[in-house]
Amino acid sequence: MSEDVREELEDDGEEGSNRLAWFITGAIVGVTVALLYAPKSGKHTRQLISEKTQQGKEAVTGAGNQVADASRDMFDRGRKVVEDAADLFDRARKLVRG
């Protein structure tokens, strides 16, 4: 390997290390600032997350029940339409036969 290529590879390795170090430093600073300026303690934040999760679960369950009820209602109405159509067909057949 020539000397120029070796120096270029070493420079690239150092640059990658510097980027990683700056990224980690930024992440640590970001987490520290977030913790210092968090509106609530960790316990309160976990409780809030738990409550919101429960509310979401209840909303999904309620929506699922509404869809199931609407589906049953539409099925019953469809069955009635089919029964009425079959009745009309039978009456029309009797009229045609005389």
Mean pLDDT of 26-39: 77
Average pLDDT, the chain: 80
Instruction: Name residues whose C-beta falls within 8 Å of residue 40's C-beta, 6 or more positions apart in sequence.
Output: 48
More confident residue, 89 or 2: 89
More confident residue, 24 or 73: 73
Q: Give the tens place of pLDDT for each residue, 33-81.
A: 776 777 777 788 778 778 888 888 888 888 888 888 889 999 999 999 9
Query: For the whole prediction, is pTM greater than 0.85?
Result: no
Domain locations along the chain: 1-37, 41-98
- The separation between CA 72 and the C-alpha centre of its own chain, rounded to angstroms, equals 27
